[in-house]
Structure 1
Amino acid sequence: MVQFFPNTSKIFQVAAFKLFYSSLPIVAIRLIVGLILFLLFILAASSGSNKILSLSYSFLVTLLILEVFYRFKISREKPEKDLSRISSGDNIADFLTLEAAQTLLKVPDLTNTNQIFLKLIGDPSINFVLTRSDISTEDINKILAGPAEKIPIEALFSESIAYSKKESQEYIDQFDILLALFKLNKGLANLEFQKELKENDLLNIVFWARRVYSDTIPFWEKPADQLGPGIFDTLATGWTLETEKYTRDLTRELTKGGLRSALVGRESTIDRIQKTLSRSGRKNVVLIGEPGIGKTTIILGLASKSQTGNLVAPLNYKRFLQLDLTALLAEAQTGELERRLRDLITEVKHSGNVILFIPNIELISGSKESRELDITGFFLQTLRDPDVAIIGTSTRDNWRRYVETKSGFAELFDVAEIKPPTSNEAIRILEDAAASIEPKHHVVITYKAINQTVELSERYVIDRALPGKAIDLLEEAATSVALNKKYFVESLDIQALITEETKIPVGTPTGTESEKLLNLEQELHKRIIDQEEAIKAVSESIRRARTITRTTNRPIGVFLFLGPTGVGKTETAKALAATYFGSENRMIRFDMNEFQDINSVTRLIGSPPGSSEYEAGGQLTEAVRKDPFTLVLLDEIEKAHRKVLELFLNIFDEGRIADASGRQISFTNTLIVATSNAGAEYIREAVGINEDISALKTNLLEKLQREGIFSPEFLNRFDSIVVYKPLTLDQVQQVTQLLLMDLAARIKKQDISLVVTPKAVKWLSNKGYNPTYGARPLRRLIADSVEDALAKKLLSKEVVRGSTVTIDIDSTDNLVFT
């Protein structure tokens, strides 16, 4: 049972005194008394009155001691108990921070949530939370002007305790009370909904505020082992004059504020590194992770914790020196590099307080980026030495390719795999990063901008890992906002930046885009004749992708188009690429007829390490890695080898696949269209007898499975399987008109008009129609019969700018151009 007795709580007594002592009248009296005593002291000193001088001096010193005691002791008073020891029957007042106690003492009625909220917003840290939540002064005034909402005081503190424990806080502070109000006050809960905030969002914003407004612990309150290295510890370390020429002192830069480290959610990694670096044997560890995952940040965090005495004892007050390979190699003549390395290693060993950091350790192990420089042999003996500690970093691919091949070198390191932070951890890392981004660009970053940065970078920035890619995106957005003379970085700024870089619209569709999505079928029908089922399926997929948040990594849509040649399967894919990705060029096309043997798998995902084709990578994986926002067209997929089809099962289902080097390639932002002519004759026959389309589709799929063309598990991976019907002669005439309209639009750019009579359209349709090949011969016919003739007339100057060319049929049933 929660009990609240502020009158018997020491922290509330201190809070009451602080409120009294910092009140305006008392502050005025303190200033006046101090000024009088100071003037009296000056006058006494000038008049030579020793008695008055001594008396005024005594009072002045006493006042100064009181002020110091108030500022550095009373104002920093902490609760005597923490929440880890709370039990039924305890006085909840004993668990509140001084600031929270002060706020509650100002509230006339603690059951009135409006009054509590009014007093809370006088705190700058609470205003920080509201501002970053996009809650304006007008929003606050509406809440305060609304009807008073009363709750039992026990309910307020029960929720406050829950929020404090959720964030592993020792005491209940003003933020916990604010969070409780957002849950208990209907007006604030409604405001939270209007601002599209969830409970977790508020927790993240409060985390941000706590980091910004965290108190610095005075040195006299720190434990002795956190006061810095002793004099003898400093004297016992060796000189590193030669080493400093070829390294960067991270510890010194952290001390001067030139570097910033933010460790969020890396506790297990830090613990593992500490165990390796503090053991009695060899002390070497390499951090393996993708670019941007935070390997260097972890090193900086270690250096910062070591500097403040917050690591295990053997690692405290160590100097973290980063090897500068450029300086090490600069002007190094024959034998000079060996001397430099020998001196550096000797000094590091004898210093006793240096941890050497080698970033991108593959650069000293024969990688192409370092022109195959291999100096690992110089480190072998050093790495076995228990007096030397070395930390390296690398990516999984580079470690496997350049370091693991040198087993004698690689086995001397413990490997720590660095996993990407969760989305929530990434948000909190970005909140820390905002502290350095905001002053640099003179902007204010809203929480929604941070949230959107993590969400969109995770989805659209494929080549790097969180949190690095999100930090880079946020920095870029801040730069853009500053250049546009704006002050707030908002979620719309992040969306605009992603859209600009990927050419894919993100965010909620509005205006003309909403209208276009609603009428997508009509847009696609401008290029595709008939084929209603196909148009409907792809349109619905795009609408879902643009409006509903996806919870899986599957591709945007995976379609199988079945039908005879020349009925519009490939044209639908092109129209889809143009509609969703902005251009037909955003399409990667594979003729699966070229992947009929079992070795085709390596052509798609790459050859294994060690083979001559390894560096080239896979045709599929490299294409998608370079352009992850694309449509992948798999033409005539029924002709691919069974192992190739199995390869695509995982892509269709999980949205990713590992290439030959082990790198994960994401297909999450792709549309995948597979086409097949399998069963074309059956489709023609079924359409010929007017078989219902749904029955046709069912019978066709059963036939394809019976004949072993496609397996059930393969067909089940598609979002939609669409059957394309053969084109009738009337539909071919409509296709002819579309192709001629495209030609007319092209020559209109040369200021030439093209008119085609209905007779000419019909003539071309009849000549270009083929029951077996559909409309496919039409393009060649128009190129040969129309475009070639126009080209000759342009060259002979029969057709010039401003001309109108009419195409018709003469009495001999031939095309004529007038």
Structure 2
Amino acid sequence: MLDLDLRRLIGRLNAYSKRALEGAAGLAVTRGHYEVSIEHVLHVFVEDSQHDVQSALRHFEIDPAVMRKGLQSVLESMKTGNQGRPVFSPLLVELISDAWLVSSVELDLDQVRSGSLLATIFAQPNRYGDDRWLQYMEDITFAGFKKDFTDIIGNSEETTAGLTAAPVGDDKASSIAPGMSPDSALARFCTNFTQAAREGKIDQVFCRDHEIQQMIDVLGRRRKNNPICVGEPGVGKTAVVEGLAVKIAEGDVPDMLKSVELIGLDLGMLQAGAGVKGEFENRLKGIIDEVKSSPKPIILFIDEAHMLIGAGGSAGGADAANLLKPALARGELRTVAATTWSEYKKYFEKDPALERRFQLVKLDEPSPEQAITIMRGLRGAYEKNHGVYIRDNAVVAAAKLSARYISGRQLPDKAVDVLDTSCARVKLSLSSKPFVIELKEKRLGELNRALGSLTRDAQADFAPVDPQVEEIEAEIETVEMEIADLTARWQKELDLVNQILKLRHDLGLSLEGDEPAAEDEVSSEDAEEASDTPEAEAEESGQVTTGDTAVDIEAMKAMYAQIAEDLKVAQDGDPLVSFEVTEEAIGQVISDWTGVPLGRMVENEADSVLKLSQNLQARVIGQDHAIQAVDEALRTAKAGVQNPEAPMGVFLFVGPSGVGKTELATAIADQLFGGERFLISINMSEFQEKHTVSKLVGSPPGYVGYGEGGVLTEAVRQRPYSVVLLDEVEKADLEVMNLFYQVFDKGVLSDGEGRQIDFKNTIVVLTSNLATDVLTEMGSLPEKPVVDELVAACRPILSAHFKPALLARMQIVPFYPLIGEPLEKIVRLKLNKVGKRLRENQKMELVYSDEVVKSIAARCTEVETGARNIDHIVNRTILPELSTELLTKMGGDGTDFTKATIDVGEPGHFTYSLS
């Protein structure tokens, strides 16, 4: 009975209010709310500038923005997490019921319009209103609203359009097929992609011709003519369908498709508000019937098609997929679907009857080179939207840097997002204060508040001012000077940028998205008159006119070059204002997103490889031969002359513990890929049983953990540019090691879900303590043997453990034991790190003598521990004793110390002094 009453109530709403109610239900679905409330409906009303509610706000001079803010506050406080369809709140149903009485009795209307609902709220504000938005309309009474009602609704489209207008944002010019009734199911729940393409609202699609052709082939079948696009999120599934719509609109398709309309089904809107049993099924059945009976052929596009499975089932009927199956099999309903791999496996593969009705069209992630082509095609649209110039090196950087540093997302989606964000930043820099100045001003405010607080405490206690006040005052002075300098620099840069933009405009250098004036806008008489003007004569003679003055083009170009040079000098590599999107702007966005330093990103890759050996030697001591071997292999890979199918390098680091094997792998990740976060470290001692191989690649179907990914494959999938460190590899079961034949040879590995994980951009490092005795003995000789001799000595021992076929796929890199001078260098390296921390935290300098270095190195005589014993001495002896001395002296008479000195005392002990 309640369902019947609700249907009758909704039937009394005018067409606009019905659609607004559906829009409110859609808003509730989007936000995961459990009920469709009065605030949801009002939010839709306030977003529309052409109907009763906005007319009322204008009449009573209420800012829609503040109303929107109040409604938003209520919506944000609602409980979220609903995965099903929301229901209409009892209060909303009562409001509609009371509004019908108000409309018929008080306002003399035969339907409930949006103004009627608003009038009912004014009649009972305590019942239907919320102070968070009602406060802005507290002066409006029902009597006053009723008195002015005719004037309020006079210009509303609910009056002038016969009560059939649609809510804002529901562009019905593009949402239905030509000739289709506005009240049809297709009009209410679908969008016309072909019409949008005709109106130029869809961007061009690039590098997807093969996939579009596959879809056309499938659509041309007599039966089961339903392609389904499957790919990871962000690879362009919806864009491929939009590309098909563009081809249809342009007539660039076979004759059988030239007359079709490509209609997109909005599943969310289809489910929204269908709380009554059977309502969802009726809506979907209506769409299917309209598609079948349409005089013009229709192809239905279902995005996120996995939502079909189970959709509607909770309402008590069959789900949407079962309703579609008969029509799909007979070819009566041509459908294009799109979903992700995970959802396809989860839903479609488990329903063979549904799967066989679709033909799979696989969409792989485009390569960085293809992404560059796509981005170049989209550049004009983003230039036009943001009004800024995009350089080609920015397009290239967006594709390549996002592919390398942004994990967990696919091209071209992440590259487009980076470019879009960079454009927005450049646009904002031209019209707003630089963020760095805002941060300085906030810091200044914090310091002033701290100063005021300390001064106030001193006055309250009649005590001397805290010594900290002087430091704060000094910092305030410094920050004020920095703000003044930055502001002056900002104004100078802004002035130069405006001059550059004006010169570009005067020289006719427009953005790619700008449209030239139409030819028919200028009459022939106007053209003849214009040709006789001095400006036209100047243009013919090679000059450009600006106002009434003819300026020589070459002079303007020279002026442009000079101003650009002045701007470059003023910015000094750290711009406050930008007038175009450059490679540096792209790099800065990715740096902010990932934390990778900007300098590492935009550095020339060839230069970084050439400097690799020098940088590694500064960090890894006493293993120059190992660094040279790695450097030579990586140069070969970067030059593009080695096997492109294999990883960039596969190295087996062999040597005693604590000689720098893991440190070298970490340093390679830092220097070559931009940080230690690009090191994927796996302790192979955890894989001593055969069955543990599933931990590396993921569990197979039917086993616990399926779908979660493996520790190796998932890490490489998310960070394809990285160093893979397989530590203590000799401890792993040999059957586990068989997994890596394909990785070392072909650069790919299949995970538990069957996905191909690409290892071609990785460097694989395996470490082992095998042959330690041989290397220690040979490394202790007065004259160190060459690398080839060490490799020859190690190989028999390694061959006894690893299979020859596996060993042949690795480059063996032996490490010398650390003795004498290398140990002293490492001691200095460790103590310098302590000194850096002391300088940053205590503003003190750390001084140590050569005797301290020699004393620590002399204690590290155990070959088994290597340089790790240095860490033990520093962390367990020096740091605790130094910390005790610091805390004792600094907590005494308050003396400021600027230097800490470490020296050798009694045998086995160190002395510490502060000055």
What TM-score comes out, normalization by structure 1 length?
A: 0.63
Cα distance in 2 between the residues matched to 1:501 and 1:624: 19
Cα distance in 2 between the residues matched to 1:362 and 1:724: 54
Residue 287 of structure 2 is matched in structure 1 by 344
Q: Structure 1 regions of 5+ residues with no counterpart? A: 1-232
Q: Structure 2 regions of 5+ residues with no counterpart? A: 1-176, 431-577
SS in 1 for 2:791: helix
Residue 598 of structure 1 is matched in structure 2 by 690
Residue 254 of structure 1 is matched in structure 2 by 197
SS in 2 for 1:573: helix
SS in 2 for 1:588: strand
SS in 2 for 1:245: helix
Is the contact made by 1:732 and 1:769 (CA closer than 8 Å) also made in structure 2?
no
Is the contact made by 1:308 and 1:317 (CA closer than 8 Å) also made in structure 2?
no
- What does the per-residue CA deviation read over 1:689-709, in whole Å, with 9 as the maximum and x for residues that have no partner? 5562334333234313441x2
User: Residues 404-483 of structure 1 correspond to what in structure 2 (within 5 A)?
Assistant: 404-419=349-364, 428-445=373-390, 450=395, 463=408, 467-483=412-428
Residue 823 of structure 2 is matched in structure 1 by 732
Is the contact made by 2:770 and 2:798 (CA closer than 8 Å) also made in structure 1?
no
Superposition deviation, residue 677 in structure 1: 0.4
Residue 786 of structure 2 is matched in structure 1 by 693
User: Residues 532-571 of structure 1 correspond to what in structure 2 (within 5 A)?
Assistant: 532-540=624-632, 552=644, 554-571=646-663
Is the contact made by 2:407 and 2:719 (CA closer than 8 Å) also made in structure 1?
no
Superposition deviation, residue 251 in structure 1: 2.3
Residue 795 of structure 2 is matched in structure 1 by 702
Superposition deviation, residue 275 in structure 1: 3.9
Residue 397 of structure 1 is matched in structure 2 by 342
Superposition deviation, residue 797 in structure 1: 4.5
Residue 592 (structure 2) pairs with residue 649 (structure 1): no
Match of 1:323 among 262, 265, 271: 265
Q: Which amino acid in 2 is paired with 1:780?
A: H
User: Residues 713-724 of structure 1 correspond to what in structure 2 (within 5 A)?
Assistant: 713-718=805-810, 720-724=811-815
SS in 2 for 1:561: strand
Cα distance in 2 between the residues matched to 1:663 and 1:477: 33
Cα distance in 1 between the residues matched to 2:367 and 2:675: 34
Residue 901 of structure 2 is matched in structure 1 by 806
Cα distance in 2 between the residues matched to 1:366 and 1:779: 60
SS in 2 for 1:283: coil
Superposition deviation, residue 618 in structure 1: 0.9
Residue 365 of structure 1 is matched in structure 2 by 309
Match of 1:614 among 694, 700, 706: 706
- What does the per-residue CA deviation read over 1:142-190, in whole Å, with 9 as the maximum and x for residues that have no partner? xxxxxxxxxxxxxxxxxxxxxxxxxxxxxxxxxxxxxxxxxxxxxxxxx
Q: Summarize the Cα distance change of 1:748–1:275 in structure 2 as closer, same or farther, 3 Å threshold.
A: closer
Match of 1:526 among 600, 614, 618: 618
Cα distance in 2 between the residues matched to 1:809 and 1:491: 53
Superposition deviation, residue 286 in structure 1: 1.0
Q: Which amino acid in 1 is paired with 2:271?
A: L
Q: How many residues were matched structurally?
A: 575
Q: Summarize the Cα distance change of 1:702–1:246 in structure 2 as closer, same or farther, 3 Å threshold.
A: same
User: Residues 740-759 of structure 1 correspond to what in structure 2 (within 5 A)?
Assistant: 740-749=831-840, 750-759=842-851
SS in 2 for 1:383: helix
Cα distance in 2 between the residues matched to 1:566 and 1:739: 14
Q: Summarize the Cα distance change of 1:620–1:519 in structure 2 as closer, same or farther, 3 Å threshold.
A: closer
SS in 1 for 2:736: helix
Q: Summarize the Cα distance change of 1:555–1:461 in structure 2 as closer, same or farther, 3 Å threshold.
A: farther
Residue 752 of structure 2 is matched in structure 1 by 660
Is the contact made by 1:592 and 1:634 (CA closer than 8 Å) also made in structure 2?
yes
Is the contact made by 2:387 and 2:427 (CA closer than 8 Å) also made in structure 1?
yes
Q: Which amino acid in 2 is paired with 1:685?
A: E
- What does the per-residue CA deviation read over 1:535-571, in whole Å, with 9 as the maximum and x for residues that have no partner? 2234445666777798836444432211011112122
Cα distance in 1 between the residues matched to 2:619 and 2:364: 46
Q: Summarize the Cα distance change of 1:259–1:604 in structure 2 as closer, same or farther, 3 Å threshold.
A: same
Superposition deviation, residue 345 in structure 1: 2.6
**Cα RMSD (Å) of the superposition?**
3.6
Cα distance in 2 between the residues matched to 1:405 and 1:420: 25
SS in 1 for 2:738: helix
SS in 2 for 1:614: coil
Residue 188 (structure 2) pairs with residue 245 (structure 1): yes
Match of 1:786 among 872, 878, 882: 878
Superposition deviation, residue 270 in structure 1: 3.9
Cα distance in 1 between the residues matched to 2:671 and 2:372: 33
Residue 623 of structure 1 is matched in structure 2 by 715
Q: Summarize the Cα distance change of 1:696–1:792 in structure 2 as closer, same or farther, 3 Å threshold.
A: same
Deviates more, 1:652-661 or 1:484-493: 484-493
Q: Summarize the Cα distance change of 1:608–1:809 in structure 2 as closer, same or farther, 3 Å threshold.
A: same
Superposition deviation, residue 598 in structure 1: 1.5
Cα distance in 2 between the residues matched to 1:263 and 1:519: 38
Residue 705 (structure 2) pairs with residue 762 (structure 1): no
Is the contact made by 2:251 and 2:258 (CA closer than 8 Å) also made in structure 1?
yes
Is the contact made by 2:799 and 2:807 (CA closer than 8 Å) also made in structure 1?
no
Residue 224 of structure 2 is matched in structure 1 by 282
Is the contact made by 1:289 and 1:418 (CA closer than 8 Å) also made in structure 2?
yes
Superposition deviation, residue 478 in structure 1: 4.1
User: Residues 28-427 of structure 1 correspond to what in structure 2 (within 5 A)?
Assistant: 241-262=184-205, 266=209, 268-335=210-277, 336-351=279-294, 353-365=297-309, 375-419=320-364
Superposition deviation, residue 332 in structure 1: 2.7
Cα distance in 2 between the residues matched to 1:663 and 1:532: 39
Deviates more, 1:314-323 or 1:354-363: 314-323
SS in 2 for 1:381: helix
Q: Summarize the Cα distance change of 1:789–1:620 in structure 2 as closer, same or farther, 3 Å threshold.
A: same
Match of 1:633 among 719, 725, 739: 725
Is the contact made by 1:555 and 1:672 (CA closer than 8 Å) also made in structure 2?
yes
Cα distance in 2 between the residues matched to 1:627 and 1:687: 37
Superposition deviation, residue 798 in structure 1: 5.4
Q: Summarize the Cα distance change of 1:584–1:491 in structure 2 as closer, same or farther, 3 Å threshold.
A: closer
Is the contact made by 2:218 and 2:226 (CA closer than 8 Å) also made in structure 1?
yes
Cα distance in 1 between the residues matched to 2:805 and 2:361: 38
Is the contact made by 2:723 and 2:762 (CA closer than 8 Å) also made in structure 1?
yes
Superposition deviation, residue 446 in structure 1: 5.2
